[in-house]
Amino acid sequence: MTKGPSKTASALKRQWPLALLLVLLFTALAWAYLAPGPAAVGLAAQVDASLTASGVSSRVTAVLLNFRAYDTLLECFVIFLGVMVVWSLRPTTVTAPRQPQAGAILSSLERLLVPLMVLVAGYLLWAGSNQAGGAFQAGAILGGAGVLLLLDSSPLLARLPKGGLVWGICLGPFYFLVVAVAAMLRGRHFLEYRAPEATLAIVTLEATAAFSIGLCLATLFAGRQPQGKSRGENSAHSPAWEEDS
């Protein structure tokens, strides 16, 4: 290391509280793992017993989107709130340096990967009802596709209207609410749906949630409110993300 020995020593001195905390945490974890306790009772049996009523054959999806759909609803809103927080920040005065030309290699990678990403996201969404996969995974991959498009400053995103962006971000969380309230209108509890119509509800919920999560992640990466025109004008046709300059 190029640092002097005295600097390293002072760095070590500064780090000892952290080291102590880590050692304590580790000891606690080891104790919790090794200590004899009551035998853990899993919920696997209960989940299996009511799996047929859930509308899907994957246990994880059944738990996430039916038995404990409340959690997933809140998670959708957490990501939504994240976007709201980022948009409410004052734009940075620092502008990105004018980037070198993206180059043919990057754009051809983008043309190759983005369709494949959408395809794989669709596959994960579809596979989610009977094996691993689902809305969040598919959404993350869609977000990756969005990030790739943004990095290449692709004209595809520059043409995306701001209004469309806002609607797309809202779609997932609010569709979730609509489904939840629709269950109440039919005389059930909030978010309660059962086998015959549950499959449809879960599949549509997952698709909209994945779409919105992907859009939210890409928006988080863009990192600022879209530069739309002022409210009075027709903001639906202004580009959401202009190129960094």
Partner 1 sequence: MVVNAFDICLCLTLAWLAWQVLRSHDLFKAVVLFISFGMLMALSWVRLQAPDLALAEAAIGSGLTGALFLSALQRVTGNKRGERRLDRNEERHDKRA
Partner 2 sequence: MTIVELIGTGCVVLGIPFFLSGTIGLLRLPDIYTRLHALTKADNVGLGFIVLGLIIQSSSWLEVIKLLLIWFLVLMASATSCHLVADAALRKKIKPWTREK
Partner 3 sequence: MNTFYVSLALILLLSVAAGLLRILRGPTAADRMMAAQLFGTCGVAILLLLARGFDALIVEDVALVFALLAALSTVAFVRRAWTGKITPKGRRHDHR
Contacts with partner 2, residue ranges (CB under 8 A): 100, 103, 105-106, 109, 112-113, 116
Tell the smallest beta-carbon distance from residue 107 to partner 3 (Å).
11
Binding mask 59-88 for partner 1 (x = CB under 8 A): -x----------------------------
Neighbours of 141 (CB within 10 A): 24
Q: Does position 139 bind partner 3 by CB under 8 A?
A: no
* Stretch binding partner 1 (CB under 8 A), from 44-52, 99-107, 134-142, 162-170: 134-142
Reading the block at residue 192, the tokens are 């309660």
d(CA 123, CA 104): 29
Total number of residues binding partner 1 (CB under 8 A)?
28
Tell the smallest beta-carbon distance from residue 117 to partner 3 (Å).
6
* Stretch binding partner 1 (CB under 8 A), from 27-35, 66-74, 166-174, 215-223: 215-223
Choose among partner 3, partner 1, partner 2, none what residue 92 binds, the Cβ cut-off being 5 to 8 Å by kind: partner 1
Q: What is the DSSP string of 126-157?
A: HHTTTSS--HHHHHHHHHHHHHHHHHTT-HHH
Tell the smallest beta-carbon distance from residue 134 to partner 2 (Å).
19
Total number of residues binding partner 3 (CB under 8 A)?
24
165 contact partners, CB below 8 Å, separation of at least 6: 215, 219, 226, 240
Q: Does position 182 bind partner 3 by CB under 8 A?
A: no
**C-beta of residue 99 within 8 angstroms of C-beta of residue 26:** no
218 contact partners, CB below 8 Å, separation of at least 6: 142, 143, 145, 146, 147, 149, 150
Of 92 and 101, nearer to partner 1 (C-beta) is: 92
Residue 79: which of 168, 201, 186, 12 has the closest Cα? Answer: 168
**C-beta of residue 199 within 8 angstroms of C-beta of residue 189:** no
Reading the block at residue 55, the tokens are 């509308």
User: Length of the chain in residues, anyone?
Assistant: 245
Contacts to partner 1 from residues 94-113, by CB under 8 A: 94-97
Reading the block at residue 4, the tokens are 């002097």
**C-beta of residue 53 within 8 angstroms of C-beta of residue 62:** no
Reading the block at residue 21, the tokens are 């905390």
Residues near partner 3 (CB under 8 A): 96-100, 102, 106, 109, 113, 116-117, 120, 124, 127, 131-133, 137, 141, 144, 147-148, 151-152
Residues near partner 1 (CB under 8 A): 2, 11, 15, 18, 22, 60, 92, 94-97, 124, 131-134, 136-137, 140-141, 143-144, 147, 151, 217, 220-221, 223
